[in-house]
Amino acid sequence: MFRSAKKTRIMILSEKYYYVEFSLLEDLGVEPRPLQFVNIWIPGVDEVPMSISQYTEEKLYVLFKVVGEGTRGLRDRWGFFGVKGPLGNGISLNNYSRVLFIAGGTGIAPLPLLARHAERNGVELDVIWGVKKSSELFDVKTLAPSVNNVYYASEDCIVGYCGRASDLAERFLREHAWRYDIVICVGPKNMLLDICRKAGSLVDVYVSLEAIVKCGFGACGSCILKPIPKLLCTDGPVFKCNEVYKHLEWNSQY
Ligand SMILES: Cc1cc2nc3c(=O)[nH]c(=O)nc-3n(C[C@H](O)[C@H](O)[C@H](O)COP(=O)(O)OP(=O)(O)OC[C@H]3O[C@@H](n4cnc5c(N)ncnc54)[C@H](O)[C@@H]3O)c2cc1C
Ligand code: FES
């Protein structure tokens, strides 16, 4: 069921990255967990799945990059939208004391809510964020002030580590994996596969996946994680590496 929401603010975070605030006209009914997502209905355009970036009882925030019609509508349209969710399982930080969050590109979107839950549970949270072009970077502490250390990587080598987030993460974890209870990784599937391969033996790694989401509640099958019989919308989007390794490998071949 879609709930009514009004777009009330948009912030340009960097080249191509936007942060949109919706005023929720109807409560979501339950407090979202980090890494849960919503489907946003953009009237006359499409429905797009978006991670919940931040949430209060009256406001919902999403962070995105414009890639097509749906995300262009999210940026350019004003007025009323529909919000379905929270969808998926998300993750709980209750049992941890130190967590590393690794993000590639728009994988940074769930960080503000994750950081708020980390702070609430006394969990120390470090972040590695990598992008292709350094003009896409922004100071993550503006949205997530409680995070401890932030390490940036850019493939154009202008800001931070010169290369991909997964390469920086591999080097970093070889030395520091023992400090973390878990690693949470959000980004493109080839990056997730890389992290599972390189860091999965050093520390418990959770990855958050993307797929084509339609119904959001397990009925249509569009989000099946071939070749494994799991649905992103009800079983995920967060999984341990070993649960989805075959899917990540399969995806890298096709
Ligand atoms: C659980 C989940 C959470 C997500 N959270 C975010 C987020 O917080 N911020 C963000 O920027 N994006 C997020 N995405 C991806 C986002 O939903 C897609 O980029 C968006 O649906 C594209 O819609 P569009 O109409 O603008 O582009 P389209 O015209 O539909 O597609 C443009 C390009 O994006 C690709 N694309 C389309 N749909 C998806 C999809 N579901 N996943 C990956 N690539 C897709 C297409 O293959 C195409 O190359 C998330 C996706 C999922 C499944
Ligand atoms: S989106 Fe329909 S089953 Fe997952």
pLDDT tens readout for residues 86-144 = 999 999 999 999 999 999 999 999 999 999 999 999 999 999 999 999 999 999 999 99
Q: Would you say residue 168 lies in a domain?
A: yes
Omega of the bond leading into 227 within 30 degrees of 0 (cis)? yes
Cβ-proximal residues to 116 (8 Å cutoff; 6+ apart), any chain: 54, 144, 146
Is 52 touching ligand 2 by the criterion CB < 6 Å? no
Are residues 121 and 167 located together in one domain of the fold? yes
**26, 53, 87 — which closes off a domain?**
87
Taking only the tens place, the pLDDT of each residue in 142-165 is 999 999 999 999 999 999 999 999
CA 177 to chain CA mean position, Å: 21
Q: What percent of the chain has pLDDT over 90?
A: 92
**87, 121, 141 — which closes off a domain?**
87
**62, 87, 112 — which closes off a domain?**
87
Q: Do residues 146 and 120 lie in contact, with contact meaning Cβ atoms separated by under 8 Å?
A: no
Enclosing domain of residue 42: 3-87
Provide the CATH number for the domain around residue 108: 3.40.50.80
If you ran DSSP here, which 8-state letter would residue 166 be given? H
Taking only the tens place, the pLDDT of each residue in 196-231 is 999 888 899 999 999 999 999 999 999 999 999 999
* Residue 253 pLDDT exceeds 80: no
Q: Would you say residue 106 lies in a domain?
A: yes
Contacts 24+ apart (CB under 8 A), 173-181: 173/100, 173/198, 173/199, 173/202, 173/203, 174/202, 177/202, 177/203, 179/98, 180/98, 180/99, 180/100, 180/126, 181/95, 181/96, 181/97, 181/98, 181/99
Shortest-distance atom of ligand 2 to CA 212: 1
Are residues 56 and 76 located together in one domain of the fold? yes
Dist. CA 250–CA 254, nearest whole Å:
7
Q: Would you say residue 59 lies in a domain?
A: yes
Give the residue, out of 87, 213, 230, 235, with the most ligand 2 atoms within 8 A of its beta carbon, to mutate for a pocket test.
Answer: 213
* Residue 254 pLDDT exceeds 70: no
Q: Would you say residue 221 lies in a domain?
A: no
Are residues 80 and 172 located together in one domain of the fold? no
If you ran DSSP here, which 8-state letter would residue 15 be given? T
Q: Would you say residue 232 lies in a domain?
A: no
Token digits of residue 66: 């414009």
Q: What percent of the chain has pLDDT over 70?
A: 100
Give the angle subtended at the CA of 207 by the CAs of 210 and 91, to the nearest 5°: 100
Are residues 104 and 162 located together in one domain of the fold? yes
Is 218 touching ligand 1 by the criterion CB < 6 Å? no
